[in-house]
Amino acid sequence: MKLQIINGPNLNLLGTREKDIYGGQNFEVYLKKLKSKFKNVDLNYFQSNIEGELIDKIHDVGFDFDGIIINAAAYTHTSVGLGDAIRSIPIPVIEVHISNTYSREEFRHKSFLSAHVKGIVMGFGLMSYDLAISSFTETISE
């Protein structure tokens, strides 16, 4: 199974950025753990701080891979373009957040992605990604 993880703006700073909210772990280190846990999954990772590059990646993999796990970070709350990109592809997309955005500022309660995704995992720290991947592997093996 081929899955694409897409991380949006400022998530390249995980491990150093607002550790009280996002934890002290760097994503590349966590990704190694994910790859060793999900040995049968071809896990691909892309991060960008640029909205158009995130949209391009959705187009690139969205007709070919088995699924996308996306944390669009701040663009979640602003980007009609990312929502439209998700609507435009046939493969399932899972929206992920490290924090529970509903327990935070009101502007984080709105997502332009949520209406177009298969499911949402949030609030479990980096484990949110693990749970999202499991949702694909468990569904397939049912």
Could you list the residues that contact ligand DQA (CB under 6 A)?
10, 71, 73-74, 76, 97-99, 101, 108
Give CA–CA dist 100/82, Å, rounded.
20
CB of 142 to ligand DQA, least distance (A): 28
Report the residue number, 73 or 127, with the smaller CB distance to ligand DQA. Answer: 73
Of 22, 30, 75, 129, the catalytic one is 22
CB of 33 to ligand DQA, least distance (A): 18
Give the residue with the Cβ less far from ligand DQA, 105 or 142: 105
Nearest approach in angstroms of CB 139 to ligand DQA is 23
Q: Catalytic: 22?
A: yes
Cβ atoms 116, 20 nearer than 8 A: no
Alpha helices in the chain (DSSP H): 19-22, 27-37, 51-61, 80-87, 127-141
CA nearest 73: which of 48, 97, 47, 102?
97
Q: For residues 84 and 7, give the distance between their C-alpha atoms in angstroms, rounded to a whole number.
A: 17
Q: Is 102 a catalytic residue?
A: no
